[in-house]
Structure 1
Amino acid sequence: MSQPSAVISTRQLATLLGDPNLRLYDCTTYNEPVPPGSDVPYRAVPGDKTFAAGHIPGADFLDLQGEFSDTSAQQFFMMPEVARLEAAFGRHGLDATRTVVVLYSIGTMMWSTRFWWMLRSLGVDARVLDGGFDKWKEEGRTIETGAPKGYPATTFEATPRAGFFVDKTFVKSRIGDPSTVTVNALGPQFHKGLEPSRYGRPGRVPGSVNVSAATLVNADKTLTRLADAEAKFTAAGVTRDKNVILYCGGGISATIDLLMLTQLGYDKLTLYDASMGEWARDASLPIETD
């Protein structure tokens, strides 16, 4: 059974502005380039400046790497402990009484879909704004400027759901397992190992298939039709009877695939959180190229 409530249109959101139960968050982060030879693939920069330049009225801003990730981890954007997330979301006014939680980002939806997957793992079914701030702005809808005003702080108590994130040991153990399909959401050139990887060794998790997140998004930054998305997954061998592991470079763009699969009714889904940021650097792990 599909779950269309995971996505909300700009028209639908416009009717909800001002609703006291609405919690609306800009989730934008920017991955900026680093000098050659750097130990990290990019520099994670919060989108607070673009938020100040323009945001949907009433929105608050969430800093993914700064507040909602394990900053002690070598990789960016790793899931922290539940207690840290409860405190962080509570500071931003999220609790069980908020019946409508909407997430959006600028430039790409993957930052909002990452928060969507994180919140699902904590028991909160949020919605992602289709097309993000780009579509909202393109349509000439009302925009505010300035720093976030935020929401009154609350006590957020998560209801964690198991199985939403896995590690390298789990992924390695499923290589060759006929009941599992592992999906790489990076572009085909990186999946095939045809271009140098900023994460380390070029290539992919052995046996994984490729459904690039970029192919699930239209030119106007909205999501493709569900039928088109399902055709792509089916062609890659992703079927409802399989356990599906998603990965990408840093556990971000793969959440676009996860959103689409959830919308399509797939329910055996998990995310390799560290993704190629870990796998490509670990010489003990097998890697495959064309």
Structure 2
Amino acid sequence: MGLKIESPIVSSAWLLEHLDHKDLIVLDATIPKITSGSFDIDNKEQIKNAIFFDIKQKFSDVSATLPNTVLSSKDFQENAQELGINKDSCIIVYDDLGIYSSPRVWWMFQLMGFTNIAVLNGGFPNWKTNNFPIETPKNQNQKEGNFKVNYKSSKIKYKEDLLLNLSYEKFLVVDARSSDRFSGREPEPRKEVESGHIPNSKNLPFTEVLNNDFFKKTSDLKTIFNKINPNNRDIVFSCGSGITASILALAASVSGYKNCAVYDGSWTEWGLDKNLPKEK
């Protein structure tokens, strides 16, 4: 019987229990924060048997003008197969920062129609604190997998969708950036990007759904989303470049939301366009 995910987040104890399951694939999705530069690749450690999921170079469109632009379904499928991912795989994804880039990978797989995936709550810091099995990264020749994409266009939104929404208000836009960046009190880390936010959007800094390296408990997350979205509208999450918006998308999923999407271009795209309306 295959290994099935019951929740979009799992504990380190759960992962340890299933670490040797034949269908399990553990993905290390670590990227550095834009505000903190690079991480120390020479001293890298990983969970035993983890495979590096290269968000920046392999699972983003490097030819795109915007950072972290999601791949085409064809390229995503090919790259996932190269990692040995199968249709019946069970994927656990984590990152070295606790909860940062791993939810982006969870969302990308949702977009591609694959749901048997969860994020490791607490990430690598919690795994290491528990003295669970770690290793230095190694070259792994993966047997090609048979992963297939079943693209779900409802999971992603584009600039044109958000521009139309200013008139029709079909969904709520929730911005995961800090309150200072949202309000324009703090400049954007990308100097060419204007400060401020999309008109009519609401601010929910991604840190508000976290307790250090962990997601807050489900009841607290439900309270947070009920407060920011009392009318239970569909939500589109935005941030700087689509990374932390995915943290909110995952938190919303844990809270029971079904109709959520991520604005892939996020504020980098909106703030670069001089013709689009902005608020501070």
Task: Kindly provide the amino acid, as one letter, of the partner of residue 121 in structure 1.
Answer: L
For residue 225 of structure 1, the aligned residue among 217, 222, 225 is 217
In 1, Cα distance between equivalents of 2:13 and 2:57: 31
Shift of 1:109: 1.8
For residue 20 of structure 1, the aligned residue among 19, 22, 28 is 22
Task: Kindly provide the amino acid, as one letter, of the partner of residue 229 in structure 1.
Answer: L
Structure 1: state its 5+ residue gaps.
Answer: 34-41
Instruction: Look up the match of 1:29.
Output: 31
TM-score, normalised via structure 2 length: 0.92
Spell out the pairing of 1:11-90 with structure 2 (5 A cutoff): 11-32=13-34, 49=41, 53-90=44-81
Instruction: Look up the match of 2:202.
Output: 209
Spell out the pairing of 1:74-113 with structure 2 (5 A cutoff): 74-98=65-89, 100-113=90-103
Q: 2:98·2:121 contact (CA, 8 Å) conserved in 1? A: no
| Counterparts in 2 of 1:176 and 1:229: CA distance versus 1, 3 Å | farther
In 1, Cα distance between equivalents of 2:221 and 2:19: 30
Shift of 1:211: 0.9
Shift of 1:103: 0.4
Moved more, 261-270 or 84-93: 261-270
In 1, Cα distance between equivalents of 2:145 and 2:6: 28
| Counterparts in 2 of 1:21 and 1:4: CA distance versus 1, 3 Å | closer
Extract structure 1 runs of 4+ deviating beyond 3 A.
Answer: 176-179
Q: 2:98·2:126 contact (CA, 8 Å) conserved in 1? A: no
Q: 1:211·1:233 contact (CA, 8 Å) conserved in 2? A: no
Task: Kindly provide the amino acid, as one letter, of the partner of residue 12 in structure 2.
Answer: T
Shift of 1:18: 1.2
SS at match of 2:149: coil
Q: 1:191·1:204 contact (CA, 8 Å) conserved in 2? A: yes
Q: 2:96·2:123 contact (CA, 8 Å) conserved in 1? A: yes
Shift of 1:166: 1.1
Instruction: Look up the match of 2:113.
Output: 123
Spell out the pairing of 1:152-167 with structure 2 (5 A cutoff): 152-167=143-158
Task: Kindly provide the amino acid, as one letter, of the partner of residue 174 in structure 2.
Answer: V
Percent identical across equivalent pairs?
A: 25
**What is the aligned-residue RMSD (CA, Å)?**
1.9
Q: 1:167·1:274 contact (CA, 8 Å) conserved in 2? A: yes
| Counterparts in 2 of 1:202 and 1:14: CA distance versus 1, 3 Å | same
Shift of 1:136: 0.5
| Counterparts in 2 of 1:11 and 1:148: CA distance versus 1, 3 Å | farther
Spell out the pairing of 1:251-262 with structure 2 (5 A cutoff): 251-262=242-253
SS at match of 1:230: helix
In 1, Cα distance between equivalents of 2:28 and 2:87: 20
Task: Kindly provide the amino acid, as one letter, of the partner of residue 215 in structure 2.
Answer: L
Shift of 1:237: 2.7
User: 1:65-91: per-residue Cα shift (whole Å, max 9, x none)?
Assistant: 100111111111101111100110000
1:278 pairs with 2:274? no
| Counterparts in 2 of 1:9 and 1:148: CA distance versus 1, 3 Å | farther
In 1, Cα distance between equivalents of 2:34 and 2:262: 24
Task: Kindly provide the amino acid, as one letter, of the partner of residue 197 in structure 2.
Answer: R
| Counterparts in 2 of 1:60 and 1:48: CA distance versus 1, 3 Å | farther
Instruction: Look up the match of 2:254.
Output: 263
Shift of 1:11: 0.4
1:288 pairs with 2:270? no
TM-score, normalised via structure 1 length: 0.88
SS at match of 1:183: strand
| Alignment length (residue pairs) | 273
Shift of 1:122: 1.1
Q: 1:113·1:128 contact (CA, 8 Å) conserved in 2? A: yes
SS at match of 1:175: helix
| Counterparts in 2 of 1:275 and 1:24: CA distance versus 1, 3 Å | same
Instruction: Look up the match of 1:134.
Output: 125
Task: Kindly provide the amino acid, as one letter, of the partner of residue 11 in structure 2.
Answer: S
In 2, Cα distance between equivalents of 1:176 and 1:215: 29
In 2, Cα distance between equivalents of 1:105 and 1:24: 11
| Counterparts in 2 of 1:256 and 1:4: CA distance versus 1, 3 Å | farther
